[in-house]
Each structure stands twice: as structure tokens, then as C-alpha cells.
Chains A and B, each alone.
Chain A
């Protein structure tokens, strides 16, 4: 079994895993398991079911998801006690296993499939001291379980669509609240879920656009710098909003509202799909509480906004000056990959937008032509020809409607998704940049430490005891900081690896669904075209 860092889309690995799964199933069944430790995980995705029956279920190959949750909780705790070199996940895991409780989280994330919520529980609830070290018998399971969870990664992914990740958010009913320049659009955010994380199964709240932006900025400040890819929120558009505020009830403002609504929906779905972000209290509050403090710092012209812009500029300058010693080829390759992807997606996005534009034009022109053909048919005095021409006009009109629909499909399906991904990739690049910054901090700390050491040596040489003591203290502090910096860096690197593979998976999935939908719509269009022209043909033939 290879390291988790590799993008998990290689089928041969999966089949190997599946056979391994069957092996560990047998192992799991035989172990008795103290349920006490599990009850502490009160807010996991599901209450850990009675173990034995779980493990029985394992046989079906179904419902793999709950099982790893149960044994795994014990896993991280017991790991420190165990030499994980037997673990097939590779040597780099060893470095993680310090006694630092934070690292529980880190280890867990390495071994568990990217989408299991437990480790996220660990994160949001802080390092959980509640995970009491489990008796050794369980540790026996853990290597297998690791294999199990690691290789059942893909299967779990599929489960995500099923009962394990059951959340559906819809943004609907945009209504205009208020008047004049203080008006805003309020959207109804409805959540349907069966996850026990939430208070009820089906609830909705009213939110406005700045609330969404506020949520995003909170999440970004919490998670971006440790390496999580936070989905970017839809962009502000002053022109669009002003039109809506002014109250023009025309096509373009309707379109704008519709565009925004679907963008918000996609944003929320993407945010909750991320297991860590799902557990975040801010997200929960956003989805559940009926009143939300107004997020004023998201206003475009506020002081916070200007501060943000200044910060962004400063960061851009900094980025250019940091020269990182990339020790890990994986990161370099990934960065290259994302750069390329970015370029191509942008190009594709531009082409799709131009296609949408042209198709709309085509539908307009077809409508005009249809009218013109109808008039021609009217003036034609040969009756059969006249009838045929009017039929042609009708056909063309229907085709125009078809083109319009197709253009809409193009737009909403394809183009918006591409736009989202272009923005997402910017977020990914931002995460890489954070890693660079962390590295920089670490290196700076090291340099400082070095300087202090030299100073200390000098002091020792000059024999100044009080200053020496002070220097020694400072050095210890610094050493601690440097270690922390190093750990942060490792942590962020790890997180990024995970996030990136998750991102890639999501991306492929998203694209696949969208493209299949798009192709289906194309096929439908062609079918309708066939229908129309078939109807027309006998008319044309009937011209004597």
C-alpha cells in the first residue's frame, strides 16, 4: 500500500484494498470493544452502533463508514503506545507521533479516510482528552483498521453520497427587503439533513448576501492559514446590486438575482461537503440560528474592506520576495499542476462564456428569421408553398426557443461551474502560499535562534552571568518557538496534501456530473430538432 499522499484515483489500489477489507473484517469481529470511549464522541455523525452488529454489516461491504469511526476513535489514542512502523502507511508517520495532543489529530488525519468526521470532531472540540487510552487489544485492530480505512477511502467516498453525508441545502425565494439604497435581497436557506449534528431534520433561515460573506471571512481567518481549502464566496457586484436596489424589474436584474442565488447555493453545498468546515460552530450557527449578527466588515467601502485590500497588496509583494527551498517534490509538482489547471480553466471558461453569448445571439436571430419567413409565406400566393413557408417559420421559432434553452443550460451548468473552479484554484494557491509563509516563519525563527546562540556563546566567553541567564531563557523560548514553527510547517504540509487530494476528487466528480448533464441536454436538444424537422419534411415535400 502506498503513501496517502498519492492522489487516490488509481483503481488497482482499490481492488487490492477490497481484498484487504475482507481480511480485516474477520479480525474486527473477534474483538470486544469498550463502548465507553465512544459515547464521548457524542457529536459524531452518527451514534456508534453496537459494535458486533456493525462488524457483521461489514460483511456486506456496505455501510463501511460507521465501522471505521468506532474502532478508529481508539486508534489515535492507542497509537502513541504502539510502534506504527508496522502500519503500511509509510515511515513519515513516525515523526508525527509525539505526545502532543494536537498530533492526535494529525495522525488521525493521516490514517483515516479524508472524509470521516471523527478527526474533525477532534479539531473543533479541541484536542479531546476524552479519548482515553484504549486497552491494547484494540491496538491490534488499528493497523488493520488503518489499512481498512485507508483503502476503503474510495468506498467511503461513495457512501458520502448515500446515508453518511446526508445534507441538502437549498437557497431559494429571493425577496427584496427594504427600500432604496438600503434595500437588500434576503434568501431563504433551507437545510434538510438527517445528521445528528443539527437540532432538527429540516429547517430554514433567512440570510442576506453579507451574511454569506461574513461566514466566509470567519472561516478563512480560522482555517486558511493551517492549510484548509476554504471555498471562496461568490463575488460582490456593485453594479448588479445597485440595479436590484433601484428596483428595476427587468430581465438582467432577474438574471443577476438568479445567478447569485445559484452561486450561493453551490457555495454552501461546497462548504458543508468539507467535513472539517461542516463541524465548525460558525457554519452551524449560520445554518441554524434565526438571527445572525450583521457582518459589517464585508461592506465594500468600509474600513475593514480597505484594510483587506491593503493587506492583499502587501501579501502579494511578500510572496514575490519569499524564495522557498522546496524540499518536497510533491508540492512543486502540485503547484505546477494547479498553475496549468488554472490557465486552462480560465481559457475554457472564456470560450464557454463566448459560446453562451453567441447562442443567445443565435436564438434572437432565429426568432427574427422565423418572423421574416412567416411574412414571406404570407405574401407567397402559391398555397402549398405558402403553407410550407409558414411551417418553416414555426419550426425556426421552436428551434430558437431550443437554442435559448441550450444557452441557459450552457451557462448555468458549465460556465458557472468553471467560474467557481477558477476561484477555488485561487484559494488553493492561497493555501500553498500560506505554507510558504509558515516555512518562512520557521526559518526566521531558526535564524534568530542561531543568532541568539552566537550571542550566548559570546556572553559565556565574556562571562556575564545575569545576561547569560537572560540569554539562556530567551534561547529556550526561541527553541520552543522554532520547534513549534517546524511542527506548524509539517502540519500545514500534511493538511495541504490531504486537502489537495480531496479537492481533486471533488473536482473530478463535479466535472463528471456536470459534463454528463450537459451532454444529456445536448442529446435532448438534438432529439427535439429531429422531431421538428421530421414534422416539417412532409410539408416541404407536399409542395406541388
Chain B
């Protein structure tokens, strides 16, 4: 089955490539346009062909493509996060790992059960499985693309050198995935960070805007997490129900082939139509609603991170102030304290400024994305319901 799915181009070309900038509403800028033109699925990795069209001078050509893997996207994301310069910006969240495990399991089960099923059942299940695989594939491509587009649209991040390397460097970036030690380090860093976050969160902010944003984001993040989980469950049940309808349809079909009454033919036709609709409804809900929520889950996490960084900077600033006062009082290391205070102050202000803008942007983006998706969701549901009626 892997062979059949290796011809990546077929997947992307035949569908309308509309649902790409699904979760963000971006102004595409002529100076830098990035998209994923192609994707290839191999044994356990997906190779994306990143295609860039740019009029910027620092690129050697105007249009070029490279092949990238998921790890390289992660590397790019991490490089942004670790860069102090970008502390004041919401870093676009990294795309999730392409997860074909579920499909692979099903494929295995299908292979094992091949002997026990009738030919029609087998082909039908195979088709279902392929459709599922295709859906997951498209989703992961979309996620990666969104990440790149966000970076490209961001006025500051798009100028990042790593980004340019990512886009242009023809050969393998030889980014290795984090080995165990590094993963452990990451884990500890996260723990420290969250503890710190709790401490820092207690500090009251001078600026009302940020205070408000903090409370808002916290609450929002939690609720989005909840909604995302619930919508996942709902869609899973829906898919289960659709699967059942499939099975019923096939049983009715076999029943109908025995009974030559036209009753069963009628039933066959209607149930077959119904089953397709139900599974498509489930899939669409999945795409529009669940993905939206998941994406904003990650985004709000990123925004929270931004605020955390800012609060941290504020705390640092205040600490520096205190140190300065102390130094002045003791009249020792004043210069040092002053410089550090200046640094902190500068950093803090920089962050505050950009953060404000970022958060406002975040809100606009969010509103627009929700609008788009909800509208599409409603339209699709209507379409399906109307089709079922006929």
C-alpha cells in the first residue's frame, strides 16, 4: 500500500488547494511567498517540497524549491524560540508530527484479516483506509505550510537567517533529532519554566492592557484546550457511527442480493448514500472545527509564552532596579548595576512594545480564522444535509 501512496503529487493536485491557509488569514506579500508544492510519503517520514517565490535580493534566485523533513521544521522553530531577539514576538507554533500510526495499525489489521472477509468488504475497507490516510496526509501538509506562511508573513521573522537557509539551502540540513540527553534537558527546562511561570504570574503588571491580556489568555487557553478535547471526542464518536453505518450498508447489501425484492435495492442505495455522507460530515467537522481549535490551542500557548517572557523581563527589570538601588545605597558596582538595569529596562520595553502589537494581531487573526472556519463548517454541513435529502 505504501507504493500506491508514494505518488504524492496526485494527492495535492487533484484536490483544490484551498484549505491551505486554513487557520490563519494572511496577506500574502509578493516579496516572499512560501508554499509546499509537493509532498511524498515514505515509510515513516514525509518529505515536503518547499517552494519559494521571492523578489528579495538576498536570495540567489527568484524561485526555487528544496526538500525538507519534519525535523527540519522543528529545528527552525526551536531556533526562533531560543533566539533572544525574538523574545517579544509570538513564535508561530511548530507543526505537529505527522502521525500515521493509527492508519498503519488499521492497515496491518486489514492485511491480517484479508482471508476472512469477502472480496467486496476487503476492497471497501481498503478504500476507506486509503481515504483516511489521504486525509491525515493532507492535514499534515497544511500544518507545515501554515507554519511557513506565518513565518514568511511576520515582518521580523521573515528576515531571519536561519529561515533563509531553510528555504534555500539545497542540501540536507543534517538536523538530527534530539537525542535522549537533549530530550531530557528539554524536559527539565520545561519544568523549570513552568515553575518560574507560576512565580512570575503573581507579579501584578503596571500596564492594564497586559494585565487584561494575561487573565484573558489564561482563561482562553484553558477553555480552548477543553473545547478541543471535547470536539475530538465528538468527532471520534461520529466516525464510529459512520463506520457502523458502513457495516450496516454492507450487510443490507448482502441481504438484498439474496432477497430479490426491490425493497432491498431501495435500501441499499439509500444506505450507501447515507454512509458516505456521515463519514464525510465527520471528516469535515474534524477539519474545520477540531483543527481550528487545536491550532488555536497551540497559538494561545505561544501567546502565553510571550507574555511569560515579558513578565520574566519585567521581573528582571524590577530586580535590576532593586539591585541598582542597593548598589547606589552601598555605593558599589553602581555602574555595573546601572548597565544591567539599562539592559533590562531596554529589553522589557522592547518586549512590551512588540508584544502589544503581536497580541492585537493575534486577536485579529483569531477572529478572522474562526469566522472563516465557522462559516465553512456551517456551509459544509448544509451541503451534506441537502445532499442526503435527495
Quick check: is A366 within 8 A (CB to CB) of the other chain? yes
Given the complex of chains A and B, what is the CA–CA distance between A308 and B64 in angstroms? 83
Cross-chain contact B227 with A533 (CB below 8 angstroms): no
Cross-chain contact B231 with A362 (CB below 8 angstroms): no
Stretch at the interface among A85-93, A248-256, A341-349, A462-470: A341-349
Choose among A337, A351, A508, A541 the residue with the greatest number of B CB atoms under 10 Å from its CB. A351
- B223: chain A residues at CB < 8 Å are 372, 375-376, 379
Cross-chain contact B220 with A379 (CB below 8 angstroms): yes
Cross-chain contact B389 with A358 (CB below 8 angstroms): no
Cross-chain contact A508 with B370 (CB below 8 angstroms): no
Quick check: is A9 within 8 A (CB to CB) of the other chain? yes
Given the complex of chains A and B, what is the CA–CA distance between A369 and B233 in angstroms? 9
- B236: chain A residues at CB < 8 Å are 365
Chain B residue, CB-CB nearest to A535: B378
Binary contact track B249-270/A, C-beta < 8 Å → 1, others 0: 0011011001101010011001
User: Do A352 and B367 contact each other (CB < 8 Å), given the known contacts A380-B220, A512-B263?
Assistant: no
Cross-chain contact A533 with B381 (CB below 8 angstroms): yes
Cross-chain contact A522 with B274 (CB below 8 angstroms): yes
Cross-chain contact B371 with A344 (CB below 8 angstroms): no
Given the complex of chains A and B, what is the CA–CA distance between A362 and B261 in angstroms? 34
Q: Which of A344, A371, A515 has a CB less than 8 Å from the CB of B254? A: A344
- A352: chain B residues at CB < 8 Å are 244, 248
Binary contact track B268-291/A, C-beta < 8 Å → 1, others 0: 001000100000000000000000
Quick check: is B17 within 8 A (CB to CB) of the other chain? no
Binary contact track B347-385/A, C-beta < 8 Å → 1, others 0: 000000000000000010011001100110111011001
Given the complex of chains A and B, what is the CA–CA distance between A382 and B255 in angstroms? 55
Cross-chain contact B244 with A358 (CB below 8 angstroms): yes
- A519: chain B residues at CB < 8 Å are 270
Shortest beta-carbon distance from A53 to chain B in Å = 37
Question: At the interface, is chain B mostly helix, strand, loop or mixed?
Answer: helix
Quick check: is A388 within 8 A (CB to CB) of the other chain? yes
Cross-chain contact A347 with B378 (CB below 8 angstroms): no
Quick check: is B224 within 8 A (CB to CB) of the other chain? yes
Cross-chain contact A348 with B252 (CB below 8 angstroms): yes
Quick check: is B216 within 8 A (CB to CB) of the other chain? yes
- A371: chain B residues at CB < 8 Å are 230
Quick check: is B312 within 8 A (CB to CB) of the other chain? no
Given the complex of chains A and B, what is the CA–CA distance between A508 and B220 in angstroms? 56
Cross-chain contact B367 with A9 (CB below 8 angstroms): no
Stretch at the interface among A21-29, A234-242, A326-334, A523-531: A523-531
Cross-chain contact B385 with A385 (CB below 8 angstroms): no
User: Do A348 and B251 contact each other (CB < 8 Å), given the known contacts A533-B382, A540-B378?
Assistant: yes
Choose among B219, B240, B248, B386 the residue with the greatest number of A CB atoms under 10 Å from its CB. B248
Choose among B237, B254, B379, B389 the residue with the greatest number of A CB atoms under 10 Å from its CB. B237
Cross-chain contact B381 with A355 (CB below 8 angstroms): no
Quick check: is B245 within 8 A (CB to CB) of the other chain? yes
Given the complex of chains A and B, what is the CA–CA distance between A511 and B366 in angstroms? 51
Q: Which of B226, B230, B379, B388 has a CB less than 8 Å from the CB of A537? A: B379
Cross-chain contact A536 with B378 (CB below 8 angstroms): yes
Cross-chain contact B381 with A529 (CB below 8 angstroms): yes
Q: Which of B233, B258, B378 has a CB less than 8 Å from the CB of A365? A: B233
- B382: chain A residues at CB < 8 Å are 530, 533-534, 537
Given the complex of chains A and B, what is the CA–CA distance between A537 and B381 in angstroms? 10
Q: Which of A351, A379, A527 has a CB less than 8 Å from the CB of B216? A: A379
Quick check: is A354 within 8 A (CB to CB) of the other chain? yes
Quick check: is A368 within 8 A (CB to CB) of the other chain? yes
- B252: chain A residues at CB < 8 Å are 348
Choose among B247, B374, B386 the residue with the greatest number of A CB atoms under 10 Å from its CB. B374
Quick check: is A497 within 8 A (CB to CB) of the other chain? no
Choose among A361, A368, A379, A382 the residue with the greatest number of B CB atoms under 10 Å from its CB. A379
- A527: chain B residues at CB < 8 Å are 385, 389
Quick check: is A200 within 8 A (CB to CB) of the other chain? no
Shortest beta-carbon distance from B240 to chain A in Å = 4
- B258: chain A residues at CB < 8 Å are 337, 340-341, 344
User: Do A354 and B227 contact each other (CB < 8 Å), given the known contacts A344-B251, A508-B263, A533-B382?
Assistant: no
Chain B residue, CB-CB nearest to A540: B374
- A511: chain B residues at CB < 8 Å are 263
Shortest beta-carbon distance from B13 to chain A in Å = 30
Quick check: is A431 within 8 A (CB to CB) of the other chain? no
Chain A residue, CB-CB nearest to B244: A355
Quick check: is B158 within 8 A (CB to CB) of the other chain? no
Within 8 A of A (CB), among B210-230: 216, 219-220, 223-224, 226-227, 230
Shortest beta-carbon distance from A347 to chain B in Å = 5
Shortest beta-carbon distance from A222 to chain B in Å = 31
Quick check: is A145 within 8 A (CB to CB) of the other chain? no
Quick check: is B238 within 8 A (CB to CB) of the other chain? yes
Quick check: is B5 within 8 A (CB to CB) of the other chain? no
Given the complex of chains A and B, what is the CA–CA distance between A354 and B363 in angstroms? 43
- A541: chain B residues at CB < 8 Å are 371, 375
Within 8 A of A (CB), among B328-349: none
Shortest beta-carbon distance from B366 to chain A in Å = 8
Quick check: is A359 within 8 A (CB to CB) of the other chain? yes
Given the complex of chains A and B, what is the CA–CA distance between A361 and B242 in angstroms? 13
Chain B residue, CB-CB nearest to A370: B230
Given the complex of chains A and B, what is the CA–CA distance between A58 and B374 in angstroms? 65
Chain B residue, CB-CB nearest to A375: B223
Shortest beta-carbon distance from B357 to chain A in Å = 17
Cross-chain contact B378 with A359 (CB below 8 angstroms): no
- B363: chain A residues at CB < 8 Å are 382
Choose among B219, B238, B240, B385 the residue with the greatest number of A CB atoms under 10 Å from its CB. B385
Quick check: is A373 within 8 A (CB to CB) of the other chain? yes
Given the complex of chains A and B, what is the CA–CA distance between A345 and B184 in angstroms? 56
Quick check: is B201 within 8 A (CB to CB) of the other chain? no
Given the complex of chains A and B, what is the CA–CA distance between A382 and B230 in angstroms? 23
Q: Could you give 20 example pairs across A and B, Cβ below 8 Å?
A: A347-B251, A351-B244, A365-B233, A368-B234, A369-B230, A369-B233, A372-B230, A373-B227, A376-B220, A376-B223, A376-B226, A385-B370, A385-B371, A388-B374, A511-B263, A515-B267, A523-B388, A527-B385, A540-B374, A543-B367
- Extra contacts, 12 of them, besides A9-B261, A389-B370, A541-B371 (Cβ < 8 A), are A344-B254, A361-B240, A366-B234, A369-B234, A376-B220, A381-B216, A384-B367, A385-B371, A511-B263, A530-B389, A533-B382, A534-B382
